[in-house]
């Protein structure tokens, strides 16, 4: 249940007594507590966690959702507020009713993601750091993608895994060999605005049959990072990739790039969940190092 501090803050937000008529705890997340709230003011989604354990997590997520929403490409949950109250922080969003996929669902989703990726800036990175799952994600700016990928994505996760004895010296040497080959693997592309954690658990179908994406880890990067993430755990139809490629053509070797792009989420999962993700890392490195 919500703390009194959060309940009081919601009352202040709405300028009246916030009366909860229904409170339904929601599962599916491994980090935060979450619930659907029905009230006189409407239906909402709220998630909350320790403010000390995850500093500014929900403020950064709120800012990220607003940046995605400004592109007017894919449906994003509307942010009502993000705040810290007492020992907890929380994010308060509109509640989106789940529906069934429309007949053109994958086409519309693929085209919308392509339009999102056409949003660009001069450098790779972001003006603020955020989180990937429960891990901090640094987004310092770089002029070149490969430099950003190595310094801001791979190196921090490799160091964390090495310090936890999850990677040995032989694997780290393979990474170093790979770094010297990145110029021949990734094409030069403009930085694209990415969702950053686009697996099947971070999109849903709204009541109109359209895609809605959430739980972002945004930054401006190589768009193969989003495409690769969609293949991590399944859930995206094969035609999605063909349709995306029609809307925003990728390089001929885009499928080869996927294994390297997914070294980042595999390292993240290795650090979060342990050795079961090591085999995928070894296979990718053996192909390119």
Contacts 24+ apart (CB under 8 A), 82-85: 82/58, 83/9, 83/58, 83/59, 84/51, 85/3, 85/5, 85/6, 85/8, 85/9
Instruction: Decide if 63 is inside a domain.
Output: yes
Measured CA to CA, the distance from residue 24 to residue 1 in angstroms comes to: 9
13 or 173, higher pLDDT = 173
> Under 8 Å CB-to-CB from 147, ≥6 apart: which residues?
124
Q: Are residue 212 and residue 282 in the same domain, yes or no? A: yes
- Is the model's pLDDT at 28 over the cut of 60? no
Q: Which residues are catalytic?
A: 197
Instruction: Decide if 100 is inside a domain.
Output: no
Instruction: Decide if 34 is inside a domain.
Output: yes
pLDDT, residue 83, reads 92
Q: Are residue 158 and residue 264 in the same domain, yes or no? A: yes
Q: Are residue 33 and residue 124 in the same domain, yes or no? A: no
Instruction: Decide if 66 is inside a domain.
Output: yes
pLDDT, residue 37, reads 92
* Residue 25 banded pLDDT, cuts 50, 70, 90: confident
Place of tokens 């085999």: 279
Q: Are residue 178 and residue 52 in the same domain, yes or no? A: no
**187 C-beta neighbours (distance < 10 Å), count:** 15
Instruction: Decide if 80 is inside a domain.
Output: yes
Answer with the one of 31, 63, 94 that is the final residue of a domain. Answer: 94
Q: Are residue 283 and residue 146 in the same domain, yes or no? A: yes
Quote the percentage of the chain above a pLDDT of 90: 83
**9 C-beta neighbours (distance < 10 Å), count:** 20
Q: Are residue 49 and residue 119 in the same domain, yes or no? A: no
- Is the model's pLDDT at 81 over the cut of 90? yes
Instruction: Decide if 32 is inside a domain.
Output: yes
Quote the percentage of the chain above a pLDDT of 70: 98
Domain count, the chain: 2
Q: Domain range holding 226?
A: 105-288
pLDDT digits (tens, 9 = 90+) for 124-178: 999 999 999 999 999 999 999 999 999 999 999 999 999 999 999 999 999 999 9
Q: Are residue 68 and residue 123 in the same domain, yes or no? A: no
Instruction: Decide if 99 is inside a domain.
Output: no
pLDDT, residue 63, reads 98
Measured CA to CA, the distance from residue 277 to residue 239 in angstroms comes to: 27
Q: In this structure, are residues 202 and 214 in contact, taking their beta carbons and an 8 Å threshold?
A: yes
pLDDT digits (tens, 9 = 90+) for 65-80: 999 999 999 999 999 9
pLDDT digits (tens, 9 = 90+) for 224-281: 999 999 999 988 999 999 999 999 999 999 999 999 999 999 999 999 999 999 999 9
Average pLDDT, the chain: 94
* Residue 11 banded pLDDT, cuts 50, 70, 90: confident
228-263 as b/e: b if 16+ CB within 10 A: bbbbbeeebeeebbebbeebbebeeebeebbbbbbb
> Under 8 Å CB-to-CB from 59, ≥6 apart: which residues?
82, 83, 89
Query: In this structure, what token pair is assigned to residue 227?
Result: 């495409």
Place of tokens 């002029």: 143
> Under 8 Å CB-to-CB from 179, ≥6 apart: which residues?
146, 150, 154
Q: Are residue 167 and residue 265 in the same domain, yes or no? A: yes
Contacts 24+ apart (CB under 8 A), 64-72: 64/130, 64/216, 64/217, 64/218, 65/93, 65/214, 65/216, 67/193, 67/218, 68/116, 68/193, 68/195, 68/213, 68/216, 68/218, 71/115, 71/116, 71/119, 71/193
Answer with the one of 40, 72, 94 that is the final residue of a domain. Answer: 94
DSSP 151: I
CATH of the domain at 227: 3.90.1200.10
| 46, containing H or E segment | strand 42-50
- Is the model's pLDDT at 41 over the cut of 90? no
Q: Are residue 283 and residue 194 in the same domain, yes or no? A: yes
Q: In this structure, are residues 18 and 24 in contact, taking their beta carbons and an 8 Å threshold?
A: no
Measured CA to CA, the distance from residue 178 to residue 155 in angstroms comes to: 12
- Is the model's pLDDT at 190 over the cut of 60? yes
CATH of the domain at 72: 3.30.200.20
Q: Are residue 143 and residue 279 in the same domain, yes or no? A: yes
Q: In this structure, are residues 79 and 91 in contact, taking their beta carbons and an 8 Å threshold?
A: yes
- Residues for the chain: how many in total? 289
| 194, containing H or E segment | strand 192-194
Measured CA to CA, the distance from residue 266 to residue 108 in angstroms comes to: 28
Answer with the one of 44, 60, 94 that is the final residue of a domain. Answer: 94
Q: Are residue 210 and residue 270 in the same domain, yes or no? A: yes
Measured CA to CA, the distance from residue 139 to residue 50 in angstroms comes to: 23
């Amino acid at each position: 249940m919500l703390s009194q501090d959060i309940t009081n803050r919601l009352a202040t937000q709405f300028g009246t007594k916030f009366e909860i008529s229904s409170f339904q705890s929601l599962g599916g997340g491994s980090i935060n507590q979450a619930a659907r709230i029905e009230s006189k003011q409407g239906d909402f989604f709220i998630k909350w966690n320790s403010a000390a354990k995850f500093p500014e997590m929900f403020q950064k997520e709120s800012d990220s959702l607003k940046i995605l929403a400004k592109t007017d490409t894919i449906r994003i949950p509307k942010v009502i507020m993000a705040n810290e109250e007492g020992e907890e922080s929380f994010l308060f969003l509109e509640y989106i009713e789940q529906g069934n996929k429309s007949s053109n669902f994958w086409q519309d989703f693929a085209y919308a993601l392509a339009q999102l990726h056409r949003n660009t800036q001069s450098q790779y990175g972001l003006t603020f750091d955020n989180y990937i799952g429960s891990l901090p994600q640094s987004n310092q700016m770089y002029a070149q993608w490969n430099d950003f990928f190595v310094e801001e994505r791979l190196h921090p996760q490799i160091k964390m895994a090495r310090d936890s004895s999850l990677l040995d010296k032989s694997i780290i040497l393979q990474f170093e060999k790979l770094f010297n080959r990145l110029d021949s693997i990734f094409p030069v592309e403009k930085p694209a605005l990415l969702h950053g954690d686009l697996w099947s658990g971070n999109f849903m179908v709204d009541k109109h049959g359209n895609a809605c994406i959430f739980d972002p880890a945004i930054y401006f990067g190589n768009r193969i990072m989003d495409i690769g993430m969609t293949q991590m755990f399944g859930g995206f139809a094969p035609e999605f990739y063909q349709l995306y490629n029609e809307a925003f053509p990728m390089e001929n070797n885009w499928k080869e790039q996927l294994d390297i792009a997914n070294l980042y989420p595999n390292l993240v999962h290795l650090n979060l969940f342990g050795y079961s993700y090591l085999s995928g890392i070894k296979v990718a490195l053996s192909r390119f190092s």
